[in-house]
Amino acid sequence: MNEMEEFLNFGAVVKLRRSYDDDLFKFIELMKSVGFLKEYAESFEKNCCFDKEFNEFSESKFWHYVEINNGNKNDTCIEFQWSKGFTWGDRKDYLNYDSEMKILNVDELIRACNKEELFKMNYEYTNFKNELEDKECASDLDSFLDFYEWSITKYPDGKYNIKDEQCNTFDFEENTTLEGIIDRVYYKMFDYFIDEEDIEGLIKDGDFDYVKSKYESYMRTGEKLKLIDELNRQHYENWFQEITQEKDSIEIDNDI
């Protein structure tokens, strides 16, 4: 039996994690897409995951029910019973009942149902080294991807997306072009450098050459990729001028 068959025959249960990658929403949408389970899934959503006041799906409503039934506040497991539909319980209780019970995650169940396309999972991983002719630019962008724990996903239709490996989520709601991915990663990389790195601390520690080198490298990459227009060029140049003045001021203070 595959994972889906085991799930339906109580050989497996599905673990849902609270506030992680829309596990609950994805599970319900998956079950709705499996024809003979649609009615059970809609009933489960209506009775356990629906906020009547706001007339909408609510993950918090489901976890409220889990908590008031003394369930685990961080994750829970869902099983399917033909007589009852979908019910939930703590993982440890299932394992105490049957130590051979298989605990699936939602992505494993999606793959077992061959529904990867529905959830943007029909992709292969790639990187800028594979996609760009300019390997120097590719190296800059790939280095940032590794540091930021982002990956590039490529789909059969030639579209792309960015996957956040920490959160297991996608950056774009709809898959986009390679140009869209390059633009997103480049500006995220440059803005992270400006806003998140401790530039002032680096300058005080005498590492201005590192800041200058990185700034110049990012500007060159932007030029080569034709991403720098007059407006953002002025923005970045003004920023670097301010940083240079700050360096000069620190050096004067140190001399005094």
User: Is 148 in the same domain as 241?
Assistant: yes
H-helix or E-strand spanning residue 123: none
Residues 55-72: what's their mean pLDDT?
92
CA–CA gap between residue 15 and residue 17 (Å, rounded): 7
Percent of the chain beyond pLDDT 70?
97
**Per-residue pLDDT tens over the stretch 149-174:** 999 999 999 999 999 998 878 999 88
CA–CA gap between residue 86 and residue 42 (Å, rounded): 10
**Per-residue pLDDT tens over the stretch 199-232:** 888 888 888 899 999 999 999 999 999 999 999 9
Question: At CA 102, angle to CA 71 and CA 74, rounded to 5?
Answer: 25
Domains contained in the chain, number: 2
The whole domain housing 109 covers: 3-119
> Residue 225: CB partners within 8 Å, gap ≥ 6?
134, 137, 182, 186
* Range with lowest mean pLDDT among 7-11, 13-17, 207-211, 251-255: 251-255
What per-residue confidence (pLDDT) applies to 2? 86
User: Is 70 in the same domain as 150?
Assistant: no
What per-residue confidence (pLDDT) applies to 250? 65
Cβ atoms within 10 Å, residue 44? 24
What per-residue confidence (pLDDT) applies to 123? 93
What per-residue confidence (pLDDT) applies to 153? 96
Give residue 205's identity as a one-letter amino acid code. Answer: D
User: Is 201 in the same domain as 235?
Assistant: yes
Confidence of residue 37 (pLDDT cuts 50, 70, 90): very high
Q: Which residue has the higher pLDDT, 243 or 168?
A: 243
User: Is 140 in the same domain as 251?
Assistant: yes
H-helix or E-strand spanning residue 162: strand 160-164
Quick check: 30 pLDDT over 80?
Answer: yes
Closest CA to 87 of 100, 101, 77, 97: 77
User: Is 208 in the same domain as 236?
Assistant: yes
What per-residue confidence (pLDDT) applies to 101? 92
Looking at 119, 135, 164, the residue that finishes a domain is: 119
Q: How far is CA 136 from CA 87, 127, 211, 218, in A?
A: 53, 13, 18, 11
Confidence of residue 255 (pLDDT cuts 50, 70, 90): low
Q: How far is CA 165 from CA 74, 146, 150, in A?
A: 20, 10, 6
Report phi then psi at 247, rounded to 5: -60, -45
User: Is 54 in the same domain as 160?
Assistant: no
**Per-residue pLDDT tens over the stretch 173-202:** 889 999 999 999 999 999 999 999 888 888
Quick check: 249 pLDDT over 90?
Answer: no
What per-residue confidence (pLDDT) applies to 168? 79
Residue 227 CB burial class (10 angstroms; 0-12, 13-18, ≥19): middle
User: Is 155 in the same domain as 237?
Assistant: yes
**Per-residue pLDDT tens over the stretch 91-126:** 999 999 999 899 999 999 999 999 998 888 889 999
**Helical axes 59-68 vs 23-33, angle rounded to 10°:** 100
Residue 72 CB burial class (10 angstroms; 0-12, 13-18, ≥19): middle
Tokens representing 29 are: 């949408």
Chain-centre distance for alpha carbon 76? 21
Give residue 88's identity as a one-letter amino acid code. Answer: W
Quick check: 251 pLDDT over 70?
Answer: no
Looking at 64, 88, 119, the residue that finishes a domain is: 119
CA–CA gap between residue 14 and residue 112 (Å, rounded): 12
User: Is 94 in the same domain as 115?
Assistant: yes
Question: Average model confidence (pLDDT) for the chain?
Answer: 91
User: Is 136 in the same domain as 247?
Assistant: yes
Looking at 77, 101, 119, the residue that finishes a domain is: 119
Confidence of residue 79 (pLDDT cuts 50, 70, 90): very high
